[in-house]
Amino acid sequence: MRAVAVVGASLAGVATARALRAQGFEGRVSVVGDEARTPYDRPPLSKDFLLGKTEAADLALLDSDDEAELAIDWRLGTRAVGLHPSRRAVALADGGEITADAVVVATGAAPNRLPRTAGLAGVHVLRSLEDAAALRLELAAGSPRVAVIGGSFIGAEIASSCRALGLETTVVEAAEAPLAGVLGTEVARACAELHGDNGVRLLCGVPVSGLRGEGRVTGVELADGTLVPAEVVVMGVGARPNTGWLAGSGLELDDGVVCDDGLITAFGSVAAVGDVARLRGPQGASARAEHWTSASEQPAVAVANLLAGATLHEYRRTPYFWSDQYGVRLQFAGRTRPGDEARVVEGSIAERSFAAVYERDGAVVAAAAMNRPRPFTRLRRGLSRAAVPA
């Protein structure tokens, strides 16, 4: 193998380049990215960057030594618009093409947007550094009222940052409780109560019917007629994998790029990693993980299999994520299902400091913690030992 093309100049893309060099690959590594800048870390965008504690230069994933060691052939500021797996060729928006012996799809996910919101000033999503810079600028202009649509982790982090800036903030969540499907009722309720504890209004159980405003947003209208006044609206209503450019490629697409447990697609020379990868197990069940840890860990497995020419290694790490909001760190590992029972093993939910496990048929399948990092680490290790190591 003499050349590898990585599509996506993201954490997963950088981790792929690192894994290639770490595993002895000396050929050409081309990395394609639609942003003109070199890759940067995204988790701080909703926290320290919005608060002005971190600047763009602080977010870089690579320094000059990394650049020299990895010797990446950068193709930045241009989008991939097509893939021809049989030729292992990536078509670019500028009319160019990259051919390689293997291709790694690391194009991540794009934020969902509510319909009929394009062109309305004051309406934001938060995924890229450009998104965050535009939002930070508006939050600093006077004292705008802020409405965050979606009580997801990103939504909660944005609300936390807005409140830290002293802004009147409302979170609107269509479900009866934010994050209940992931965390279960009791733990999700504790997360929801953080908003009220910190002076943020939380409205649950009523979907958004539309935004008010001519030229610039003035509020969010709910299905029950409630109007939430706001000069700034941030949509945190989930994300969709960036797979549009793969239409017609022959790759199996199903809310992501379908691959085996080794992150290899049906075209053995094409792999997928990070937010865009949907792993399908031997029994047909599949899952996609939009978390920093997956994007950083999956590439080593994908690269090992690409270099071997077969799936010799499987990715079996326990899903893990964290969220910092209102001065509280929430950590979660594993996967839950409806009916899984959360049991507190240390601390107290009422005191916003606890560690809990989720049990199914007598077995621990997940763990969560709020401001209890050491107990959580022990619980997470126990989950990892129960899984096949990557």
C-alpha triplet 19, 154, 198: angle, nearest 5°:
135
Q: Which amino acid is at 106?
A: A
Backbone angles phi, psi at 268, to 5 degrees: -55, -20
Distance CA 82, CA 80 (A): 6
Nearest alpha carbon to residue 332 among 324, 317, 320, 347: 320
Q: According to the model, what pLDDT value does residue 390 have?
A: 37
CB 257 within 8 A of CB 244: no
Q: According to the model, what pLDDT value does residue 185 have?
A: 87
Distance CA 211, CA 117 (A): 7
Q: According to the model, what pLDDT value does residue 285 have?
A: 72
Give the largest Cα separation in the chain, rounded. 62
Q: According to the model, what pLDDT value does residue 385 have?
A: 61
Mean pLDDT, the chain cut into blocks of 10 residues (390 residues total)? 96 98 98 96 96 96 94 97 93 96 97 91 97 97 96 95 98 91 89 95 95 96 97 95 97 96 96 96 78 95 98 92 94 90 92 94 93 94 61
Q: Can you read off the two tokens belonging to residue 97? A: 């093409």
Backbone angles phi, psi at 246, to 5 degrees: -95, 0
Domains of the chain and CATH, by start: 3-110+239-308 (3.50.50.60), 113-235 (3.50.50.60), 327-386 (3.30.390.30)
Nearest alpha carbon to residue 354 among 365, 366, 342, 344: 344
Distance CA 54, CA 47 (A): 9
Distance CA 222, CA 149 (A): 11
Q: According to the model, what pLDDT value does residue 283 have?
A: 66
Q: What is the pTM of this model?
A: 0.93
Distance CA 208, CA 69 (A): 49
Q: According to the model, what pLDDT value does residue 199 have?
A: 97
CB 59 within 8 A of CB 103: no
Q: According to the model, what pLDDT value does residue 389 have?
A: 37
